[in-house]
Amino acid sequence: MGVPIRADLAAIPDYNIPATAPDAVLLNSNEGPLPPPPSVVAAIARAAVEGHRYPQWFSDTLVSRLAADLAVPEPWIGVGCGSVSLCRDLIQAACGPGDEVLCAWRSFDAYPAFARAAGVRVRTVPLDAEHRHDLEAMLDAVTPATRVVFVCNPNNPTGTVVRSRELHDFLERLPDRVLVVLDEAYREFVTDPDVPDGIALSRARRNVAVLRTFSKAYGLAGVRIGYCVAPPAVVSALHKVAVPFAVSRLAQAAALAALDHPAEVRARCAAVVRERDRLHTRLLEAGYPVPPSQANFLWLPVGERATEFADFCARHGVLVRAFPGDGIRVTVGLPEENDAFLCAAAQAFPPNGRRPAASVDIMVAPGRS
Ligand code: PMP
């Protein structure tokens, strides 16, 4: 007989590990398309020289820097090993046996997975017909056991947003014993002025935590660092449940250096946004009913054909993320990478029947290793 493992873990699906291939165009993980700027790489290398020393326990230097940049007091900021670890820590900090987590579906798949792993019940509320959070239905789904509600804004994987008025109403009507986690991993790609700034909302209330990350706009997905802005009591609780020293010295140095280049980050995000809007237009023209996205990815609701579609793209050198039975999420890459995807998508299943001439070549972006 093996060691006893919690029986309920069997019900948690294995994490869908993104595929990778040596020469493929990687549009399946919502990463930034460019490597970090050389000065950030240099800061990581400098930090490595002191690799024999543990990092700062609470990332104090980075917290001070973020506090100054965001105009938020230091006790309101907690740093984690990627914002995904903060999702888990928030559940652990707020929920105990018998409690519930509420989230939209589809949304970021880590929310239900972490809740279940913590032995916490999950309620999911379907997105509306426009692939947006249905905040009314989410309010109706709140029970006396609800402790945490995730609102992913923009939503992964659909790219849709909730706007100021509806979020304000939602927060007004929600019992303030419920912690609202506004996950703003893609905030830097938002161009709609009516999408609220979660940090301002958090500062004005006692029950809102905001998650941000260096993985997307700052191009540091492989370095693993993100942060939470929340009332000090929530941040203190995060500190209690966090894995000690989970945020490496290298990650802290990288984030600090990345914050020195706001103009570069803005320019990179603007380039992604331009490509996002071009891809969106082209996909609509091809007949795919793609909802408007405010993130660095687009959602193709191809339903039952999702897996087949992703396999087709993979055979043509482009990796996208399939959500079986539901749709495809494609990350916005460099222009030539997006062209490679558009070529594959045009030949895959043109929903409007306007299949392009058979001579269309599939282009695989050069130089991707
Ligand atoms: N939240 C959302 C909505 C995400 O899509 C992701 C990354 N896929 C994360 C959080 C986690 O990002 P990281 O851990 O890299 O900061």
Domain spans in the chain, listed from the N-terminal domain onward? 19-33+263-348, 38-258
Residue 276 has pLDDT above 90, yes or no: yes
Note the pLDDT of residue 368.
Answer: 29
Q: 259 CA to middle of ligand 1, Å?
A: 19
Atom 4 of ligand 1, nearest CA residue: 185
Ligand 1 atom 2, closest CA: 185
| CATH of the domain spanning 19-33+263-348 | 3.90.1150.10
The answer to whether residue 358 scores a pLDDT higher than 50 is: no
On whether the CB atoms of residues 249 and 47 are closer than 8 A, the answer is: yes
Q: What is the pLDDT of residue 1?
A: 66
Torsion of CA 337, 339, 340, 344, to 10 degrees: 140
146 lines ligand 1 (CB under 6 A): no
> How many other C-beta atoms lie within 10 A of the C-beta of residue 334?
17
Say what the pLDDT of residue 357 is: 37
Please work out whether the CB of residue 108 comes within 6 Å of at least one atom of ligand 1. yes
Query: What pLDDT shows up at residue 363?
Result: 33
* 126 conformational bin, left if phi > 0, alpha if psi -120 to 50, beta if neither: beta
What is the Å distance from ligand 1's center to 149 Cα? 16
CA dist list (Å): 23 to 219, 314, 364: 20, 11, 9
**Mean pLDDT across 244-264:** 97
For residue 112, report the distance from its CA to the centre of ligand 1, in Å: 14
Residue 355 has pLDDT above 50, yes or no: no
Strands 226-229, 208-213: parallel, antiparallel or unpaired by DSSP? antiparallel
Taking residue 54's Cβ as centre, other Cβ atoms within 10 Å add up to: 10
How many Å lie between the centroid of ligand 1 and the Cα of residue 106? Answer: 14
Query: Would the CB of 158 count as within 6 Å of ligand 1?
Result: no
pLDDT at 206: 93
Ligand 1 centre and the CA of 146: distance in Å? 23
pLDDT of 12 reads: 83
* pLDDT for the residue numbered 365: 32
183 pocket-lining for ligand 1 (C-beta < 6 Å): yes
Q: Which fold has domain 38-258?
A: Aspartate Aminotransferase; domain 2 (3.40.640)
Q: How much distance in Å is there from the Cα of 1 to the middle of ligand 1?
A: 38
Residue 226 Cβ < 6 Å to ligand 1: yes
Q: Say yes or no: CB of residue 89 within 6 Å of ligand 1.
A: no
Compute, in angstroms, the gap from residue 320 CA to the centroid of ligand 1. Answer: 17
- The residue contributing the CA closest to ligand 1 atom 11 is 84
pLDDT at 135 over 60: yes
**How much is the pLDDT for 21?**
80
Residue pLDDT, tens place only, 18-52: 777 888 999 999 999 999 999 999 999 999 999 99
pLDDT, mean of residues 286-293? 95
User: Which atom of ligand 1 is nearest to 155's Cα?
Assistant: 3
Is there an atom of ligand 1 within 6 Å of 83 CB?
Answer: yes
Q: Please indicate whether residue 30, judged by its CB atom, sits closer than 6 Å to ligand 1.
A: yes
Buried b vs exposed e over 253-273: b needs ≥16 C-beta within 10 Å?
bbbbbbbebeebbeebbeebb
pLDDT class for 359, splitting at 50, 70, 90?
A: very low
Residue 111 alpha carbon to ligand 1 centre in Å: 10
pLDDT at position 366, please?
31
Query: From the alpha carbon of 214, which atom of ligand 1 is closest?
Result: 16
Question: What's the whole-number average pLDDT of the chain?
Answer: 93
State the pTM of this model.
0.94
pLDDT at 349 over 50: yes
Longest dimension (CA), the chain: 62
User: Which pLDDT band holds residue 13 (cuts at 50, 70, 90)?
Assistant: confident
Region of residue 351 (phi > 0: left; psi between -120 and 50: alpha; otherwise: beta): alpha
The arithmetic mean of pLDDT across residues 187-200, rounded, is 98
